[in-house]
Amino acid sequence: MEKAAAAPASPAKSPLDVAIDALIIGRNSDPFALLGPHAVDTPMGRRWVIRMFHPGAISAAIHFTDSQTAIEATKLRPQGFFEATLPEAQQDRPAPSSYRIQYRFASGATHEQYDTYAFPFLLSEFDLYLMGEGRHYDTYNKLGAHIQPVEGVRGVNFAVWAPSASRVSVVGEFNHCDGRITPLRARGSSGVWELFVPELDEGAIYKYEIIGPNGNMVPLKADPYAFRAELRPNTGSVVANLDTYKWNDSAWTTQRTQTNWFEKPISIYEVHLGSWRRVPEEGNRWLTYRELGDQLIPYVKDLGYSHIELLPIMEHPFDGSWGYQTIGYFAATSRYGSPADFMEFIDRCHNAGLGVLLDWTPAHFPRDTHGLAEFDGTHLYEHSDPRQGAHPDWGTLVYNYARNEVQNYLISNALFWLDKYHIDGLRVDAVASMLYLDYSRKPGEWVPNQYGGRENLPAIAFLRRLNEVAYERFPGLLTIAEESTSWPSVSRPTYLGGLGFSLKWNMGWMNDTLAYFSTDPIHRKYHQNQLTFSMLYAFTENFVLPFSHDEVVHGKNSLLHKMPGDMWQQFANLRLLYAYQYGHPGKKLLFMGQEFAQRSEFSEARSLEWHLLQHDSHRGIQRLIADLNKLYAAEPALHEVDFDWHGFEWLDCNDADNSVFSFMRRGKNPQDLLVVVLNATPIVRPGYRIGVPQPGFYQEVLNTDSASYGGSNAGNMGGAQSAPMPQMGRPHSIALTLPPLAATFLKWLPS
């Protein structure tokens, strides 16, 4: 039986055909080797050919911008791949770039554009080297989408880090979201992909279409370096130019570099911009950045605050995260306006004498498919091991701080806000979760470091380097750590073994203080140590005393309703709480709404309860905050020596039976001395004698029981003259009337 004849073998495809086929199906990883101008050998000699691709085009022609020359291209594939051979007169020139391609479609429509693949790459080899080393701290000027002219043509240069990708394209309406049209060029082994897209401009919406290392299509990704993003629920990145705003805050920024903030009054008003005040008559909408400038800035200034701290304004898809689950690390949220609008808000703050601090979240990032999670089809920004890369508390992912490029990304982001937006400092969220490998993890759920310990050594190195670089480039800024453990030297210089932060939130003080003030006054004598314990460690760090948003959410109640007793006692206790905060060493922070005794918990979905200010009791709290800020700023004794024992001295911390505390605050000048007395019971105590170090008149400069604050107006008729009667180990003493549930501040006036 005869065997059937073998089918003739298909001719092997040329490398060019293979490359064209890969391009048409969206799998070409080296578009510049195929598209654009190329010198090739032909039977007529060496010629320039220009190859181009536009799906659906039926014909294409090359139009040179410096002549009337037009060359029809030959269609090599029905899907829209063309090649044009230039005439001999063009051969002696360098690779042509000043030409446009005109595509024609079956509908009769035409589309004309410069050839993307005729333009050079812009990132230098040195840029790529520094990125790989993790030392290119202004990568926000390189990666992302940047509007610039190239060879006289204005367009956008896209660059993104995706080292494991087999193909990266930028997609948007400008290319019908077809990833085959504008694939990027891989820049060697750097992992960076880059492409200049001519004639694209500000406002263009785009994403990256990425094919992973195994040929899998990754969900469309927002640009990690995008300067603007669409308003949720849309998730596209938006081309933006941040260099057009004209700043008017040079006097502020110059003064900031010369300011020793450790010796200055720092009183911080913490704000969530979306719920500070809304416009109910317009669908309960947010205020814009410009409206916030008109309303928030004068309000905070009138209250006497030195700084506004904003809950994260970086773009985030979920309102309920308050910004802490950040997606667009380089994009000010579009909820309230444009980047220029936010710049103007900060500019106006500075011109009003207010610093601006941003909450910043390098501890974790969300899993949203358009974000950083598995960005190039691999665990790029996060660890692959969930024991290292997943956060058990928040359902988010943890950065791989051991990777140079990840450290570079985060440090670059911090510097970006300080540079482009003139931010005065960063409050770094959840530092404790970064420092410990076993944070919120059970045994077996975490991976020890190379020495078998629980310390996250790469994260520690990252935080130290962050602070070193930030202070080197922006003298006078503040970095503040929310660190809830007893990790040593958080706010000490790195050359002394510290983490290098300026300040640290005093979470222990906050917890003890709120526990004490939540206790019924009749039982407070058993809890005296909750207010005295903080002085055992008060000067181990440069502390901020926070009553933040975290204390008035999730069933914790507002500060007012944490207080025990009837309504009068609740208000009196709240006034005493605030006075204790301002008398205690450390900088101050209060979350919005608590300055007028908000009754409800914080919610991002509604405005503060501004209607409460119709009541005298609430206006009294607001007036007290303004007066405390004024006193705090005016009296060096209350702010000048905050981080050293020379600024504080107990007079008596042992009168637990009466729940009375008395202490002194001192400035650098011996003449700056204040006495603070707290009566934590609702009992008026006449004739209470306090020992004082110097003779003279002790002027009552603030009394929280004043009728103007809603109190009973018990007091000392302006102050008390000392007598040479020893008390509390002091050679002199003063006799005071201690108002109920109140604090008294007395300034020493020498005789």
CA 307 to chain CA centroid, nearest Å: 16
Give CA angle at 711 (709, 717), nearest 5°.
95
> Does residue 644 have an active-site annotation?
no
120, burial (CB in 10 Å: exposed 0-12, middle 13-18, buried 19+):
exposed
Q: How many residues are there in the chain?
A: 751
Q: Cβ distance 268 to 309 under 8 Å?
A: yes
User: What is the CB-side half-sphere exposure of residue 395 using CA atoms within 13 A?
Assistant: 4
Of the candidates 192, 224, 434, the one whose C-alpha atom is nearest the C-alpha of residue 331 is 224
3-state secondary structure of 546: strand
Residue from 640, 663, 637, 638 nearest 650 by CA: 663
Edge-to-edge strand ranges of the sheet holding 81-85: 36-42, 45-53, 81-85, 74-77
431 touches 363 (CB < 8 A): yes
The catalytically annotated residue of 194, 429, 642, 672 is 429
Each residue of 645-661: b (16+ CB within 10 Å) or e? eebbeebbeebbebbbb
331 contact partners, CB below 8 Å, separation of at least 6: 226, 227, 228, 229, 237, 238, 314, 315, 339
Q: Which of 270, 482, 483, 512 is catalytic?
A: 482
Distance CA 520, CA 682 (A): 10
Angle between helices 404-420 and 125-133 (to 10 degrees): 110
User: CA 218 to CA 44: how far, in whole Å?
Assistant: 45
- Reply yes or no: is the peptide bond before residue 458 cis, omega within 30 of 0: no
Report d(CA 320, CA 325) in Å as an integer. 9
Residue 429 designated active-site: yes
Phi, psi of 78 (to 5 degrees): -65, -20
3-class SS letters over 662-725: EEEEECCCCCCEEEEEEECCCCCEEEEEEEECCCEEEEEEEECCCHHHCCCCCCCCCEEECECC
As annotated, the active-site residues are 429, 482
